[in-house]
Amino acid sequence: MSLRGKAAITGYAEMAPQKRPEGKTSLGIMAEMAREAIADAGLEKSEIDGLLTACSLSDFSMLWPSAVVEYLHLKPRYFDQVELGGASSAGMVWRAAAAIEAGMCNTVLCVVGDTWDSRLFMAKPPPFPATEAEFDAPYGMVGANPGYALIAQRHMHEFGTTPEQLAKVAVDQRTNGCANPQALFGDKRITIDDVLSSRMIAEPLHLLEIVSPATGGGAFIVTSADRARHSPNRPVYLLGAGEAGEHSSITRAPNMTHSLVKPAADHAFAMAGVSREQIDFIQPYDCYTITVLVTIEDAGFCAKGAGGRFIEEHDLTWSGDFPCNTHGGQLSFGQPGMAGGMSHVIEGVRQLMDRGGERQVDGATIGYVNGNGGIMAEQCGLILGVEA
């Protein structure tokens, strides 16, 4: 048994990220996103009998799924939270499909919202594992900047990856962001020089290679393939999914440059029965430029270590030969806390529904989405397509 073609995403909603909460709360954002996604899927609230959510970083607490159920007055037969950091939203897609296929429910609302900013991270950080607080934090391994910088440094050492190659990820994604009216940083294009002359934060990573925290959220609806046929939108089917984990702190990863994107992607592609050549676009989680480069390699779009040259030789913009993060990625769209990984799922769905507007990838029928949490610690690969 596999989940291939068993369920589809039939509607979505997405908030334009903003720098400050401006009076909004995470639960309030989730409720707005739920309202819009349910309407987009042509459903009534009463038809939602499943809920998957992720706890916002700004209001991190226990009993979160119940809090969401209460706020929205839902009556789910299946509800849970997915806590895989930035991979949470991608992880919701196959869990929803599995719950539907198992007969637990018919239609699942997947929703995340967050009011996140960098001041909050310093003043009220979400609790990290005690082992990291004890053995990493005293040395300044706090947050994500040092961990991803370590990966980039080691990748450069092993494979000769250059700062210019990394910077091109941010440049191409900014071009995509400029075609996305919802992007937080979509006003003007940038050059490789702009990236490399931006402030050095954690060597070798510059300011423009690092996501900016934001307030935002998104939601999507997963239902059975049968029900999806009545959707007002073109159903986007889950064709394959794969997950992998092995460490939390990057210090304890068996290998810093060879990530768990590989086993997750291999599983997803095998389930889908799809080859890398059939993929029309990729939406890889991008907290940093290096994250995209490593994902391109480990998802199998080029040989290990050849990611730098691949990025140099391919056009990652929406109209290019390798469309990547066509919404601008979090680097240009913004990173609304725990909802950041939602943007990659929604953009994949948007493209396959042919609702990409100015940045629509012509004739896109199959896409690859990757969710990544922590410091390359949680990986969830998805293959989405327009035919079951």
Partner 1 sequence: MSNQATAFPRPVPAITDVSRPYWQAAREHRLEVQRCDDCNEWIFYPRQVCSECLSSALSWRQVSGLGTVYSYTVMHVPPHPGLADDLPLIVAVVKLDEGPQLTTNIVGCEPENMVVDMPVTVYFDDIDESITLVKFKPL
For residues 367, 217, 17, 114, the Cα torsion angle rounded to the nearest 10 degrees is -130
| Residue 117 engages partner 1 in binding (rule: CB under 8 A) | no
Q: Which of residues 85, 86, 146, 163 is near partner 1 by CB under 8 A?
A: 146
Token pair, residue 357, equals: 């507007």
Candidates 21-29, 138-146, 330-338, 364-372: pick the segment binding partner 1 (CB under 8 A): 138-146
Distance CA 378, CA 366 (A): 23
Q: Is 288 helix (H, G, I), strand (E, B) or coil?
A: strand
Does residue 137 interact with partner 1 by CB under 8 A?
yes
Q: Residue 153 interacts with partner 1 (CB under 8 A)?
A: yes
Given the complex with partner 1, which of 154 and 258 has the nearer CB atom?
Answer: 154
Tracing tokens 């040092």 back to the chain, one arrives at 146
Cβ 168 vs Cβ 316: under 8 Å: yes
* By the rule CB under 8 A, 142 interacts with partner 1: yes
Q: Which of 66, 70, 187, 200 binds partner 1 (CB under 8 A)?
A: 200
Quote the least distance from Cβ 253 to partner 1, whole Å: 9
Could you say which of 18, 25, 145, 278 contacts partner 1 (CB under 8 A)? Answer: 145
Among 199, 277, 363, 387, the residue binding partner 1 under the rule CB under 8 A is 199
- Restricted to residues 44-73, the positions that interact with partner 1 (CB under 8 A) are none
256 binds partner 1 (CB under 8 A): yes
Q: Nearest approach, Cβ of 247 to partner 1 (angstroms)?
A: 10
For partner 1, which is the closer residue by CB, 61 or 139?
139
Q: Which of residues 211-250 bind partner 1 (CB under 8 A)?
A: 249-250
Phi and psi dihedrals of 281, rounded to 5? -160, 160
What H or E segment, with its residue span, contains residue 99?
A: helix 88-101
**Interface segment toward partner 1; rule CB under 8 A; list 90-98, 100-108, 195-203, 353-361:** 195-203
Per CB under 8 A, 139 contacts partner 1: yes
Rounded Cα distance between 130 and 108, Å, is 33
Query: Which residues neighbour 382 within 8 Å (Cβ) at sequence distance 6 or greater?
Result: 90, 93, 94, 238, 240, 241, 268, 345, 348, 368, 369, 370, 371
* 96: CB partners within 8 A, 6+ apart: 7, 50, 52, 108, 110, 222
Return the residue of 45, 154, 258, 304 that touches partner 1, per CB under 8 A.
154
**CB neighbour list of residue 250: distance below 8 Å, 6 or more residues apart:** 147, 150, 151, 256, 375, 376, 377
Among residues 169 and 375, whose Cβ is nearest to partner 1? 375
| Beta pairing partners, 244 | 379
134 counts as binding partner 1 under rule CB under 8 A:
yes
**24 vs 206, beta carbon nearer partner 1:** 206
Cβ at position 200, least distance to partner 1 in Å: 5
Structure tokens at 246: 């092995």
User: Where do contacts with partner 1 occur on this chain (CB under 8 A)?
Assistant: 122, 130-131, 133-143, 145-146, 149-151, 153-154, 157, 199-205, 249-252, 256
